[in-house]
């Protein structure tokens, strides 16, 4: 039963994070309510912080398949591998329901936006409205959707960006939740600092890939877009690139965790130690 309730918490936390996060993307792209990338990045950072505070005591607040995989591989005593698939399922379900929520709330406005901009849903160029749900490279709202713009970021480059950003995120998470650290072991600021990390990563890399770092955050709403008529623009996406937002983070997360465990953790004094002595 503990695993069941932990999965419920993961679903709720992921739902909260993705509903507000994709909602602010919709508000920015469809209505122009938020001018500038930093405003969107800040909302993502704040909602990640909130979701962690809400669910950490119940599930550890992974809210991200890449984080779950990293803990299972690098700290199996804390998080056994048997929990990975249930956590992934809960995270994906929460993200899917969040995508449905955003569709119900913004659906009419998205249709109006498409009419105004002469977008045909499911045709080339409709990434500009589909980006409310899934993610695209390069960012359609910033870089554009014409062939020349799309050629600026290849699938391989996008995967590397997503992997690198996720590695940084997981590296920071592992540092913040490390129980051997004397200065951060109480964890009170951990959700805030994770949120700040998310905001910074989005501010830097979102022009390239929209800054996902989370397979559930992308694929759950992307399924909604597929069902709602974006068809191949949603899955498999332009350049068949939807896999970028799954493979990149799932590879980058464990790399970031291993980097912390191997390169930094041995050098950090444990509680009660001074300079490692």
Interval 15-55: pLDDT, tens: 999 999 999 999 999 998 877 899 999 999 999 999 999 99
Structural tokens at position 86: 């249930």
Structure confidence by residue, pLDDT tens digits, 50-86:
999 999 999 999 999 999 999 999 999 999 999 999 9
Spatial CB neighbours of 18, under 8 Å, sequence gap ≥ 6: 94, 95, 98, 99, 216, 217, 220, 221
Confidence of residue 273 (pLDDT cuts 50, 70, 90): low
Domain ranges across the chain: 2-265
Q: What is the mean pLDDT of residues 211-230?
A: 98
State the Cα–Cα distance between residues 146 and 125, nearest whole angstrom.
7
In the predicted model, is pLDDT for residue 275 greater than 60? Answer: no
HEC secondary structure over 155-223: HHHHHHHHHHHHHHHHHHHHHHHCCCCCCCCCCCCHHHHHHHHHHHHHHHHHHHHCCCCCHHHHHHHHH
Residue found by looking up tokens 């959707």 in the block: 145
Q: What is the mean pLDDT of residues 93-112?
A: 98
Give the number of other CB atoms < 10 A from CB of residue 154: 14
Confidence of residue 184 (pLDDT cuts 50, 70, 90): low
* 10 SS3 class: helix
Question: Span 2-265: which CATH code?
Answer: 1.20.1080.10
Higher pLDDT, 33 or 159: 159
pTM, entire model: 0.94
Query: What's phi and psi for 214, nearest 5 deg?
Result: -155, 110
């Amino acid at each position: 039963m503990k695993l069941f309730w932990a999965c419920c918490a993961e679903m709720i936390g992921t739902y909260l994070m993705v509903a507000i996060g994709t909602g602010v993307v919709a508000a920015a792209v469809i209505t122009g309510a938020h001018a500038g990338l930093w405003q969107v990045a800040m909302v993502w950072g704040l909602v990640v912080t909130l979701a962690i505070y809400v669910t950490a005591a119940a599930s550890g607040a992974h809210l991200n398949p890449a984080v779950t995989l990293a803990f299972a591989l690098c700290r199996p005593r804390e998080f056994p591998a048997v929990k990975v698939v249930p956590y992934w399922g809960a995270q994906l379900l929460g993200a899917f329901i969040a995508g449905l929520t955003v569709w119900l709330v913004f659906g009419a406005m998205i249709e109006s936006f498409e009419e105004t901009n002469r977008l045909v849903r499911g045709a080339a160029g409709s990434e500009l409205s589909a980006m409310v749900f899934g993610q695209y490279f390069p960012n359609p709202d910033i870089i554009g959707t014409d062939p020349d713009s799309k050629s600026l970021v290849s699938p391989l480059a996008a995967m590397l960006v997503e992997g690198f950003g996720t590695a940084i995120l997981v590296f920071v998470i592992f540092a913040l939740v490390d129980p051997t650290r004397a200065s951060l072991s109480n964890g009170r600021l951990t959700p805030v600092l994770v949120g700040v990390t998310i905001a910074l990563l989005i501010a830097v890399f979102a022009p390239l890939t929209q800054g996902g770092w989370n397979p559930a955050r992308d694929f759950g709403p992307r399924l909604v877009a597929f069902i709602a008529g974006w068809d191949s623009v949603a899955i498999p996406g332009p350049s068949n690139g939807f896999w970028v937002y799954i493979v990149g983070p799932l590879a980058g997360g464990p790399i970031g965790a291993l980097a912390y465990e191997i390169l930094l953790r041995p050098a950090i004094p444990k509680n009660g130690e001074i300079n490692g002595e």
